[in-house]
Amino acid sequence: MLDLITPHAILPNLKAGSKKQALQEIARRAAELTGQHERAIFDVLLERERLGTTGVGHGIAIPHGKLASLDRVHGLFARLERPIDFDAIDEQPVDLIFLLLAPEHAGADHLKALARVSRLLRDQSICEKLRGSESADAIYALLTQHEANQAA
């Protein structure tokens, strides 16, 4: 995860009342991190949601998209202050969101990043710890430490 996410890419208490609002807030923050236009990010995310929800179940969503002008895969993690309806496949509200943005030409890298995030967030104990962490630093440590332990 160290290559996907930085301490600045953690939103520990995102306030959003709807899926659209959550995606707007995440797009705004991702624009600051990547130097891309907020609207372009938001449009890519909305377009992806139209194809089918990125709410994968168990309170987790992994919105993702591709932008031509990115140089590498970027990640952003948000824990919502209150769970929201995200049209998830299990119809449960979402409170953990991991955004992935990839360059247009990053076929395998994009898929590998999605698989890594999905694997990490399938771990119930990690999700419980993420939900219980108050600070961005604690969340960042959880997200990056787990993968480092797996590699060891």
**Active-site positions?**
64
**Number of residues that make up the chain:** 152
Contacts of 12 (CB under 8 A, 6+ apart): 79, 133, 134, 135, 136, 139
What is the rounded CA–CA span in Å between residue 92 and residue 83? 9
76 forms beta bridges with 99
Cα(21)–Cα(68) distance, rounded to whole angstroms?
Answer: 24
User: 59 vs 77, 84, 89, 99, 122, CA distance in Å?
Assistant: 13, 9, 10, 14, 11
